[in-house]
Amino acid sequence: MRLSENRKLAWVVLAVVAVGSVFGLGGGHLAWEQDKVLEMFYEGAETGTTRESMDAYLDRARECAQVMAGEARLRLGADDATAAKVDAAIANFGDDDTLDERYAAYTALQGLSDELYNRFFDGSVSEADRANFKRAYDDFWGADKFVRRDAYRAWARDYNDSLDGFPAGIVARLWGLDELNTFGA
């Protein structure tokens, strides 16, 4: 029996092939896109002779926050409450954490770094003792500038936009794909 002889069967086969390709191949493509965006987050893009990544910028910001907290404990007292808050935020900033957790910790560090700065410069700390703290503070906000300009943010936003609508939204849920954190983009 040929499909041309049984039109109902032909339509069923066509529907199965169409649905299978949309939901099967479409999900694979969305998963591939997500992997490319995450690769951009962790590996970055090559610019000239260096490779820069959002992950590296966040690690740099974390290191600067650790220096600021250490200087605050050293110069303002070992039990400084703001330094303890910075340490708590840094604990939620690891590479094993989700992007959402890292973003939440990063935004917490932004506010805490300014709070530490105000406490540090309001205190009776000598100008010479302020140098390391000021350098770490400036480096933290320097890393923030790179975070704000990183190409990952646009890639993640474009990926999230691709999940909107039909059938991509359904396919993404079937494949267990979620939107990516855009780090404020």
Each residue of 14-26: pLDDT tens digit? 666 555 555 555 5
Start-to-end C-alpha separation, the chain: 57
- Whether residue 98 is predicted with pLDDT greater than 80 in this model: the reply is yes
Greatest C-alpha distance within the chain: 93
Domain locations in the chain as residue ranges: 3-48+152-175, 54-149
- Whether residue 46 is predicted with pLDDT greater than 70 in this model: the reply is no
Q: Which 8-state DSSP code applies to residue 5? A: G
pLDDT at 18: 55
